[in-house]
């Protein structure tokens, strides 16, 4: 299959954007994720797909816990920052975070958060599917969502 056409086709599917964060005794690490989706209501399950090379994925594998912060439209810069690899100590010091279960941070200025324990991790090609059991969640700041469409951040045209 032509990779370019595969990417282009999937880019027609609009999504929201989240930041998945995990923490061990050694490190706190997060990354921008748009593969997040709900899976089951009873029990409450969600999933995201993690690149096998991702540092955040390594942290999730160690800690078996992660938070998901759903981003608001004004958080595009944060989405871009969490899409970079490398150390994040200074980043976390500068962010407005709250601590979830086991002290894993979530972004206090997002739309909502979910606090998850790992239910299952399934290898899938160059990614792993991480299924999380939602142990806690909450609405934070009502606002428009940050959207991603055709490989770009997307703002719907204002109506009348």
Ligand X SMILES: Cc1cc2nc3c(=O)[nH]c(=O)nc-3n(C[C@H](O)[C@H](O)[C@H](O)COP(=O)(O)O)c2cc1C
Residues forming the site for ligand X (CB under 6 A): 17, 29, 31-35, 48-51, 54-56, 79, 82-85, 148
Provide the minimum distance between the beta carbon of 55 and ligand X in the complex, in angstroms, as a whole number.
Answer: 4
Closest approach of Cβ 86 to ligand X, in Å?
7
Measured from the CB atom, is 12 or 42 closer to ligand X?
A: 12
- Would you put residue 125 in left (φ > 0), alpha (ψ -120 to 50) or beta? left
Phi then psi dihedrals of residue 93, to 5 deg = -65, -30
Question: For ligand X, which is the closer residue by CB, 83 or 122?
Answer: 83
In the complex, the smallest distance separating the C-beta of residue 152 from ligand X, rounded to whole angstroms, is 9
**DSSP helix/strand/coil, 105:** strand
Beta carbon nearer to ligand X, 32 or 119: 32
Q: In whole angstroms, give the CA distance from residue 66 to residue 20.
A: 7
What single string gives the DSSP state of each residue in 122-137?
EEETTEEEEEEEEEEE
Beta carbon of residue 83, minimum distance to ligand X (angstroms, whole number): 4
114: exposed, middle or buried (Cβ count in 10 Å: 0-12, 13-18, 19+): buried
Residue with smaller CB distance to ligand X, 51 or 102? 51
Q: How far is the CB of 51 from ligand X (least distance, A)?
A: 4
Q: Which is nearer to ligand X, 54 or 143 (CB)?
A: 54
Measured CA to CA, the distance from residue 116 to residue 29 in angstroms comes to 15
């Amino acid at each position: 299959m032509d990779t370019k056409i595969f990417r282009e086709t999937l880019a027609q599917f609009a999504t929201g954007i989240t930041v998945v964060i995990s923490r061990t005794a050694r490190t706190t690490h997060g990354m921008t994720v748009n593969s997040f989706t709900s899976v089951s209501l009873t029990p409450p399950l969600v999933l995201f797909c993690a690149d096998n090379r991702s540092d955040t994925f390594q942290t999730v594998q160690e800690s078996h816990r992660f938070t998901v912060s759903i981003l608001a439209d004004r958080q595009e810069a944060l989405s871009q920052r969490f899409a970079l690899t490398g150390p994040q100590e200074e980043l976390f010091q500068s962010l407005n975070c709250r601590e979830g279960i086991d002290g894993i941070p979530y972004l206090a200025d997002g739309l909502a958060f979910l606090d998850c324990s790992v239910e299952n991790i399934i290898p899938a090609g160059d990614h792993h599917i991480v299924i999380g059991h939602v142990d806690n969640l909450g609405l934070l700041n009502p606002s428009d969502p940050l959207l991603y469409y055709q490989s770009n951040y997307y703002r719907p045209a204002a109506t009348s």
